[in-house]
Structure 1
Amino acid sequence: MPESLDLQHRASSTRDDGPEGDALYGHPTETFDVEPPYEPDDAELAAVEKYDDRFLDRELSWLQLNQRVLELAEDETLPLLERVRFLAIFASNLDEFFMVRVAGLKRRIAAGVAVRAASGLLPREILEGLWARSRELMERQSALFREGIVPALAEQDIRLVRWADLDRDEQKMAKRHYKERVFPVLTPLAVDPAHPFPYISGLSLNLAVLVRNPKTKTEHFARVKVPPIFDRFVPLGNQRFVPLEDVIGEHLKRLFPGMEVLGSHTFRVTRNEDLEVEEDDAENLLKALEKELLRRRFGPPVRLEVEESIDQRVLDLLISELGIRPEEVFKLPGPLDLTGLHVIADLGREDLKYPAFVPTTHAQLAEVESASPVDVFEAVRRHDVLLHHPYDSFATSVQRFIEQAAADPHVLAIKQTLYRTSGDSPIIDALVDAAESGKQVLVVVEIKARFDEQANIRWARKLEQAGCHVVYGLVGLKTHSKLSMVVRDEALYGAGIRRYTHIGTGNYNPKTARLYEDLGLLTADDAIGEDVAHLFNNLSGLSLNTTYDSLLVAPESVRDGLVDRIHREIQHHQAGRPARIRFKANAIVDEGVIDALYLASQAGVPVDLVVRGICSLRPGVPGLSETIRVRSILGRFLEHSRVYWFANGDPEHVAESWIGSADMMHRNLDRRVEVLVRIPGEDNSGEIGRLLDLLLDEETAAWELQSDGGWVRNDGTRHLHEALIAEQRRRRS
């Protein structure tokens, strides 16, 4: 067990370190660097490459991630409404997986550009595996809902009932709700010679209705869309709820007066909703994306979910009209679309949720016997501040940093990247205020952030109207880096112009900052500030600079920089110096990085990986990866930070730690602007090491990746997030 969980109290080094200060801020003097850099020879590379099955399939690995989410929903030791939440997250995750990953596989197969994956599988083989595994997981989810969640909720006097379970008073209430609220919104769409089969929008819940003309005895199909503007489960009072489609289905005669309603069945279509935008003309990117967003609604279907009781004739019609394959049909017990369970998880039953948690202000940014907030600039001048969200408050650190910059008359310019943000973002408001007060404000908005495109277009236009300089990054690359820079005139302090920077692992989103685990660095380090300034010039202008002293920047240097450091650990190990590699990421897929890690393992270097999601590396293979351990931690907060840690051969355990926006995936390393920064200061780097100690400790509950690609939950009794919350409360008391 680590000596301390104290990950928020940081006694960082001061700026006045004398001539040795540079060694602490990103440029350590390494006496062993006199030897030439290690480069593997052909024989060493061949020893790795001879393992043809060394890469696990990334798509199947993603499904295993969602299986771990489902296992959280199955975990009876968790608060009940949190289990309900995990069940809804599982459903929405699977929706996105089909919309993007499955759709992408189908598109490549149809275009004739399907090639064998690094795992050795052909796209058709992967697709068949995904269908089979998805079916198993969806059936498991449905069984858990019916046999586990619904009875458990009933024990707590929360009842999810079907129409047949309603008493007379509840039926009257539901009928009144239907008449006053729902019926005016419904639009029945019939199919006959005069009415072609209607377009079924992606992820909409629908009723397939069979009606018959009592005079002609002719049967007709009609589609009724369940309005998404209403809550999925209709409240009946006393914490009793009925699915909205049950209420609509019971009152179909009002929609088809004079016709005989023979039956209705719910169904749901998932469509390809990934975007493809040509970026040859950057000036038209915004308009092109807006046009593409309209086209997204008409993407080809990739999945059809139906109630298992559906009439075969109706199913045959849906398959034919939608152009869906039989293997893409998923028959399930109702109700379909369990993403609607978020409504139940949001109930005000605090006794069935995680205990309330309130982030606290970082110790170096906390008020000291004053009603006024700390001057962030003064605090950062004294010490680099390593932030760990959500334990450290985003509002009193990063948000306050931008807000104080916007209001400070000494601030000349603010430069910011925005990948995703919230609808009522105070960050946006602060940037608008800064521009309107005459400051130079540059905002790099990534309008191609998947599923946030519409919102980001809206914020881009708002910022432009306020006078901000808004750019959309580099053609062909998404700007995924998390950067802020404030340029301040400090002639008053005899310092002239000073740059303050924030580099993080998470988005500038105050809402997700309360739910996502992320790391961030607030610093006034000159070398880091100069590098960030060059990068912003690269993003907004025509700079050709691609070299940086304190940063690793994709697509130029992240992969090579990390691989070089992996090779260096091999060199340290061979020379008898301390050597160890520890990574924490959302995904590790890139073959070049994985092969370098295999090479390190073959040399005997211990490698520990904490991977929340996809992992294509196969650990524990004799002769290949015996020293590699991979684990995954899921729970109350979404583990989102990326950390790359190297022992660096130092006998005093002064390791080299990097944090940033980049996962080890092709898209991050080759098609995005990503930034990693080396954590300056021995104390802050030590805090990163202690966090990794906790993540990797055997007592910490986690899933362990096996050499066959399966994940096994360990017997750890310490829940990471609860341990860190308890430590925060201990310090506050």
Structure 2
Amino acid sequence: MPPKKRNIELGRKLKSRKVQERAANARNDLARRYFNRELSWLKFNERVLEEAANPAHPLLERLRFLSISGSNLDEFFMVRVAGLRGQQMRRIGELSIDGRTPGEQLAAIISAADALMEQQQKLWRALRRQLKLHGIKVITPSAIGASHMQAVEKHFREQILPVLTPQALDPAHPFPFIPNQGIGIIFDMRRKSDGETVRQLVLIPSSLQRFVRVPGSTHRFVTLEALIKRFVGQMFPEHRLIAAGAFRIIRDSDIEVEEEAEDLVRYFRTAIKRRRRGRVIRLKFEKGLPDELAQLIRSELGGGSNIISETAGFLGIGDLAQLVDEDRPELKFTPYTPRFPERILEHEGDCFAAIRQKDIIVHHPYESFDVVLDFLRQAALDPNVVAIKQTLYRAGKQSAVIKALCEAAEAGKSVTAVVELKARFDEEQNLHWAAQLENSGVQVVYGFVDMKTHAKISLVVRREDGELRTYCHLGTGNYHPVTARIYTDLSFFTADPRIGHDAGQIFNFVTGYIEPTDLKLLTMSPLGLREKILALIDDEIAHVQEGRSGAIWAKLNSLVDKAVIDKLYEASEAGVEVDLVVRGICCLRPGVKGMSSRIRVKSVVGRFLEHSRIWAFGNGADLPNTSARVFISSADWMSRNFDRRVEYMLPIENPTVHDQILDQVMVANLLDNQQSWMLRPTGRYERVKAEGVPFNLHQYFMTNPSLSGRGDALAEENDVPTLRLVRKR
């Protein structure tokens, strides 16, 4: 090669090498600044799993945590892993917040998930031994005993066998469709008549429970798949069993909405059917399944495109929830009955009268969700109510909210329901509710094609003294009566005309695409919520620069948005003290000198699922203080919440409500040392060890009335212990 060409080629290589080095350095910088979103979620599920090993919990509650960790992991694969696999298949090279490609993320996820599943099986073995000591036994068919075997066999023959459909696998009978989370048992059988090998497949119907109770006085169970193997001769009387094994699959279950979808309802009805046939993402084999059978299943269900593992234990950890339902109250949390807000009772149950007097906030699950239902029921029955507007993200299967809206419409009121079809895994239920609402005369609106309506708002317009007054409910959680018993959330009620005006503007934005131009108090996404948060953080930085204190407290489910994280880093190094309670995903790396030295992150995982979103800014003084700027919201600090969802943020001005949220809820979360974990700069979560007096925030709220809903009688007793946070800097 001539010298000139050689020099040009050398220059190209050097340039290419420098580009690669810069790219590598940039990715390393990202890894130093942020945690990976998916791996952070797996860390959260590890904390859930750790509760299954927590001896402070009753035994069946520990089993519940184990089953929840299994269900969580299934959903993670259905959605997050499926999405990354899709990116990888389409050769999309988009990097994660910490600079990883989809392939790099998948490799790390699989390793972490496999370790998590191994820990699940280990914990199941340990809990199984402890359950046995309390008379709850999961046994093999061989341990049933002759005295009960006949009854079990009769049950199998009469109650199970008629539901099963064995299918031969041969050229005339191709491999059948396996539904998402489906479990199958594959058999190699030898025909007695000619010695020919026959391959058979039996799917376990979802209509059958995984555990079958053995007759007798004790709580003894045998798994359905074990019974099918034990009585295989009843299905195949002319065959002898050679080999058998079970497997389980997870399918891609996310629904991607195409922007050109002309009819959203029709699109989702079709998409739900497509989802049931989504590509296989995860394939799990029972340990000991012969290689030949495993290879057949692998090739029929997508070959090398799915993620395969072998399980030495129970397939489908989430199904252990069936055992939790056993009637053994001594092995469960003491039942808790929520309080009904005393202030509403003092108004003889008249929600409107209580709200008209002053704002009120209800703290679920410690205070009953019935107050939200009563608000809507009263609106439905009140002849002075002329209009109701309601957002519906998740409402549950037996929804009193839907019933109240239908009754209101049938009574001649103007009722509008914004039903979110894109609420993941509730799409089919929401379609059902939408049809029922429309049949009752409710005006049903489905919102945007490319955005979810995630704000939780009820608006009631009532005629009073010849004028119209608007009452509002704004929640941090869903209008779901089941989750309201186990999720900690806030319900804010107000008759403030400014909030009523703003809520009406949000409804008009969703129903008519009319962008609000003059919001009085509320901030909403996708129209400026991120910018408002960044401005509030900037205000704290300015306070420090002017010689005052700067402080930020935030309670969230997830923290992912890069712009907000970078601004918090900036605030930290400017001198602002930042305390975050982030239950789940956290991509922010705390406690790093020169970057996040004044940021502390904790996660609370306990009896109730921490779900409320609360943000507090010191406003020139240490937190808590009476002048602090306090907000509640439906949004987490994630890009999707800022850019692709309709959310709200509400400032709290009422002094009593302000004190309850800041001095009670936030302080209690920061004080908790019984069910809290601290996030370290390495990404490791360490369980908080109690120093001094133990404090369990859930127990505190279960045994102490709230400030906002106490009413005059309880207020005079002044029986709410004052919480005091002493921060060691």
The residue type paired with residue 103 of structure 1 is A
Is 2:697 the partner of 1:720? Answer: yes
1:385 is matched with 360
Equivalent-residue separation in structure 2 for 1:365 and 1:264 (angstroms) = 62
Please list, as runs of the form range in 1=range in 2, the aligned pairs for 1:318-717 lying within 5 A after superposition: 318-325=297-304, 328-367=307-346, 373-395=348-370, 397-491=371-465, 496-545=467-516, 547-649=518-620, 653-690=626-663, 691-697=665-671, 699-716=673-690, 717=694
Q: Deviations over 1:386-428 (max 9, x none)?
A: 1110111110x21111000000000000000000012111111
Q: SS of 1:115's equivalent?
A: coil
2:724 is matched with none
Equivalent-residue separation in structure 1 for 2:157 and 2:191 (angstroms) = 24
Report which stretch shifted further, 592-601 or 693-702.
Answer: 693-702
Equivalent-residue separation in structure 2 for 1:198 and 1:218 (angstroms) = 22
The residue type paired with residue 634 of structure 2 is S
Q: Residues 700 and 606 of structure 1: is their aligned pair in 2 closer, same or farther, counting only changes over 3 Å?
A: farther
1:225 is matched with 203
Q: Deviations over 1:479-509 (max 9, x none)?
A: 01100000000026xxx11000011101001
Is 2:234 the partner of 1:254? Answer: yes
Is 2:31 the partner of 1:68? Answer: no
Q: SS of 2:337's equivalent?
A: coil
The residue type paired with residue 152 of structure 2 is A
Q: Residues 92 and 699 of structure 1: is their aligned pair in 2 closer, same or farther, counting only changes over 3 Å?
A: closer
Is 2:276 the partner of 1:297? Answer: yes
Kept in 2: contact 1:131–1:327 (CA 8 A)? no
Q: SS of 1:366's equivalent?
A: helix
Kept in 1: contact 2:671–2:697 (CA 8 A)? no
User: Offset at 1:52?
Assistant: 5.6
Equivalent-residue separation in structure 1 for 2:559 and 2:245 (angstroms) = 42
Q: Residues 173 and 393 of structure 1: is their aligned pair in 2 closer, same or farther, counting only changes over 3 Å?
A: same
Q: Residues 190 and 728 of structure 1: is their aligned pair in 2 closer, same or farther, counting only changes over 3 Å?
A: farther
Equivalent-residue separation in structure 1 for 2:207 and 2:651 (angstroms) = 46
Kept in 1: contact 2:550–2:575 (CA 8 A)? no
TM-score (norm. length: structure 2): 0.90
Q: Deviations over 1:148-190 (max 9, x none)?
A: 1011101111111111221112322221111111111101121
Equivalent-residue separation in structure 2 for 1:619 and 1:562 (angstroms) = 19
Kept in 1: contact 2:247–2:283 (CA 8 A)? yes
The residue type paired with residue 599 of structure 1 is E
Equivalent-residue separation in structure 1 for 2:353 and 2:260 (angstroms) = 45
Counting matched residue pairs gives: 676
Q: SS of 2:524's equivalent?
A: strand
User: Offset at 1:650?
Assistant: 5.3
Equivalent-residue separation in structure 2 for 1:202 and 1:221 (angstroms) = 23
Gaps of 5+ in 1: 1-46
Gaps of 5+ in 2: 1-25, 720-729
Q: SS of 1:117's equivalent?
A: coil
2:248 is matched with 268
Equivalent-residue separation in structure 2 for 1:698 and 1:257 (angstroms) = 61
RMSD between aligned alpha carbons? 1.9
Kept in 1: contact 2:606–2:675 (CA 8 A)? no
Kept in 2: contact 1:302–1:324 (CA 8 A)? no
Percent sequence identity over aligned pairs: 41
1:11 is matched with none
Q: Deviations over 1:285-330 (max 9, x none)?
A: 0011000100111111111111111111111111111124398222
1:206 is matched with 184
Kept in 1: contact 2:672–2:695 (CA 8 A)? no
The residue type paired with residue 269 of structure 1 is I
Q: SS of 2:174's equivalent?
A: coil
Equivalent-residue separation in structure 2 for 1:145 and 1:679 (angstroms) = 45
1:196 is matched with 174
Report which stretch shifted further, 131-140 or 218-227.
Answer: 218-227
Kept in 2: contact 1:272–1:296 (CA 8 A)? yes
2:153 is matched with 175
Equivalent-residue separation in structure 1 for 2:241 and 2:405 (angstroms) = 57
Equivalent-residue separation in structure 2 for 1:564 and 1:222 (angstroms) = 64
Q: Residues 650 and 605 of structure 1: is their aligned pair in 2 closer, same or farther, counting only changes over 3 Å?
A: closer
Equivalent-residue separation in structure 2 for 1:503 and 1:248 (angstroms) = 51
Equivalent-residue separation in structure 2 for 1:325 and 1:547 (angstroms) = 55
Equivalent-residue separation in structure 2 for 1:76 and 1:699 (angstroms) = 16
Q: Residues 403 and 149 of structure 1: is their aligned pair in 2 closer, same or farther, counting only changes over 3 Å?
A: same
Equivalent-residue separation in structure 2 for 1:338 and 1:676 (angstroms) = 38
Equivalent-residue separation in structure 2 for 1:326 and 1:106 (angstroms) = 9
2:264 is matched with 285
Kept in 2: contact 1:647–1:653 (CA 8 A)? no
Q: SS of 1:303's equivalent?
A: strand
Q: Deviations over 1:524-546 (max 9, x none)?
A: 01111100011111111141325
Equivalent-residue separation in structure 2 for 1:557 and 1:546 (angstroms) = 12
Q: Residues 520 and 383 of structure 1: is their aligned pair in 2 closer, same or farther, counting only changes over 3 Å?
A: same
Equivalent-residue separation in structure 2 for 1:225 and 1:350 (angstroms) = 34
Bigger RCO (CA 8 Å, 6+ sep): 1
Q: Deviations over 1:546-576 (max 9, x none)?
A: 5522111111111111011001100011112
Q: Deviations over 1:644-689 (max 9, x none)?
A: 1111125864111111210111211111111111112122112211
Equivalent-residue separation in structure 2 for 1:542 and 1:631 (angstroms) = 39
Q: Deviations over 1:79-111 (max 9, x none)?
A: 001001001101100000000011000000111
User: Offset at 1:219?
Assistant: 2.4
Q: Residues 324 and 142 of structure 1: is their aligned pair in 2 closer, same or farther, counting only changes over 3 Å?
A: farther
Equivalent-residue separation in structure 2 for 1:133 and 1:415 (angstroms) = 45
1:316 is matched with 295
Q: SS of 2:704's equivalent?
A: helix
Equivalent-residue separation in structure 2 for 1:547 and 1:184 (angstroms) = 65
Is 2:54 the partner of 1:80? Answer: no
User: Offset at 1:261?
Assistant: 1.9
Kept in 1: contact 2:676–2:688 (CA 8 A)? yes
Q: SS of 1:53's equivalent?
A: helix
Equivalent-residue separation in structure 1 for 2:381 and 2:305 (angstroms) = 60
Q: Residues 616 and 515 of structure 1: is their aligned pair in 2 closer, same or farther, counting only changes over 3 Å?
A: same
Kept in 2: contact 1:208–1:223 (CA 8 A)? yes
Equivalent-residue separation in structure 2 for 1:281 and 1:330 (angstroms) = 38
Please list, as runs of the form range in 1=range in 2, the aligned pairs for 1:75-154 lying within 5 A after superposition: 75-146=54-125, 148-154=126-132
Equivalent-residue separation in structure 2 for 1:51 and 1:200 (angstroms) = 41
Equivalent-residue separation in structure 2 for 1:240 and 1:700 (angstroms) = 34
